Chain A
């Protein structure tokens, strides 16, 4: 099936408005980075604003690869973002966990990174493991590396970090990824990372430096915007999507100008504020259109794109969607929610398929045979088509059964260990605090 959130003309209008915004208003950027971009001809620095020239943005988009590979320990589960299918990632990065038998959340630990990675590995609906929780029982300076190593030990799928916030952490993670590729454990980029622009229109100095380190190492960077309409972006869906588009373009332009050809992924999780409290409301009725519009804008750029999940988004065909497993506005990991969201993703994928309309599907003969009166339950046609869909084992609201399933998978699912030599090398790297902390 297909769905069009934006016509070609509307997409062009939004893109043109984003280019004008980046050229006239610009983005707040660290001075050194801004000067570097200006010297490379991507724009000009005026005060603390980096004003990006449309030609600079166009050059960046031209330099960006059309497809991006996300390597995995299990080569069969490698992800190729090339516009041919939509892959799915878990959600992240929470600081709290609600255990299967608990009412209230507690702070997340390294053991939760392990459990969530193993459960994501067991659920075929998820193709990419995001760093779902932060290991708060690990000292800050070793937390990102410890989380990456633990995720690697517990999933053979691609690991995408969303908490790499400083260049030193990026260097550490890149070194670990290099160990994996040098040893032949992972072919292609062994890690990718999501870096977000701070809305409205500000490049996070530390996060952008981290993104540059990763891009320089050839590791894919998700160039993300997380606008909240009404608070950090205009209250209208169109304005929200426009600003998010401009923000993602700004980060892509920075990375491509400094490291042309580095793998980047266009991304936005544009959301809406609760009108009374200002808190993010992921259930806003405009969210499905927004996710689809983001996907269409990304596809129009010709680079891989990443958007929120949901039926309309899947119909728009982004390369990657999130999320699964978090509750309470993505601040709390709940293991049964991972199972529920996997089921929901499976159902959305089915709903996005256009049903067959051939003779067998129209079933005129079957109706003739059974009707008037009668029923279809015993017709071979019925069982054949019911089986093609599969049994619905867990419904979207079946929290009890989802918890049972999560418990079963956590108890039984095994992930092949990393080769001992590689594991030891990674552990050694992960245990070394980044240089700044050593100093």
Chain B
């Protein structure tokens, strides 16, 4: 892949240009580039650089989220071709995210989802008001190694324990790392219900998931066929 293409990918992701990313991905395939390399050396690396700038305090949150959206647009073009060729992106860590049953607040969870995508996770967002059995089914179906639970209300926090217990009852608890978040949640509460961690905002959530996924901690998760 030539430097000019990499520079264009870098600029397109940094601009949060989803249409441009999608078009560039198609151009790269037409030019005979290896889709896995385009994804990893091009788009994933570009998004990582955006994430570094955001973490350094140089970017606004919408810029970060738009960059993640641009990356997702490219992924939608590249992924089928990668799979057709029998390849898979390296270490596609999969996280099932959702706001627990009884709670329809979704923005905090969605921000965490974008952050995780920017950090290279594959995110399966179940949405809001998600009952425990849907988390269990998604973890099993997606072979996810990570679960993120969100609750904004003190009244819905107890559902987090229900999900953790349901994962244990399904024999999946040891295979997943569970992180909880939301305004009323505390690290003590995470300990109390047997979660692996607590994050107060999108940035800490991303760092925590990254730490949990660090070498030695990682639970590999293949992309969905």
Contact = CB atoms under 8 A, between A and B. Distances in A.
Is chain B a partner of chain A in the same complex? yes
Interface of A: 93-96, 105-107, 134, 136, 140, 143-144, 163, 165-166, 198, 202, 204-206, 228, 230-232, 273-279, 329, 331
Nearest to A96: B186
B104 A198 contact: yes
For the residues of B in contact with A, the DSSP-based class is loop
B154 A95 contact: yes
Nearest to A141: B158
A198 B128 CA distance: 12
Nearest to A140: B158
Nearest to B189: A107
Contacts of A329: 183
A57 to B, nearest CB: 23
B185 A275 contact: no
A202 B104 CA distance: 9
Given A278-B61, A329-B183, A231 B107 contact: yes
A206 B62 CA distance: 31
Contact-residue bracket for chain B: 20 to 34
Given A276-B61, A329-B183, A140 B155 contact: yes
A215 B188 CA distance: 37
9 nearest interchain CB pairs?
Answer: A95-B184, A134-B154, A165-B155, A140-B158, A278-B61, A275-B60, A95-B154, A278-B111, A331-B183
A274 B54 CA distance: 13
A95 B102 contact: no
Contacts of A228: 107
B67 to A, nearest CB: 14
Interface in B170-214: 183-186, 188-189, 201-203
13 contacts: A95-B183, A95-B185, A106-B186, A107-B189, A140-B155, A166-B155, A198-B104, A198-B105, A232-B107, A273-B61, A276-B54, A277-B202, A331-B184
Given A95-B186, A204-B104, 11 more contacts: A95-B157, A95-B183, A134-B155, A136-B157, A136-B189, A163-B155, A166-B155, A230-B62, A231-B107, A275-B61, A276-B60
**Residue of A231, A276, A278, A329 contacting most chain B CB atoms (<10 Å):** A278
Contacts of B185: 95
Given A206-B102, A277-B201, A134 B184 contact: yes
B154 A278 contact: no
Nearest to B158: A140
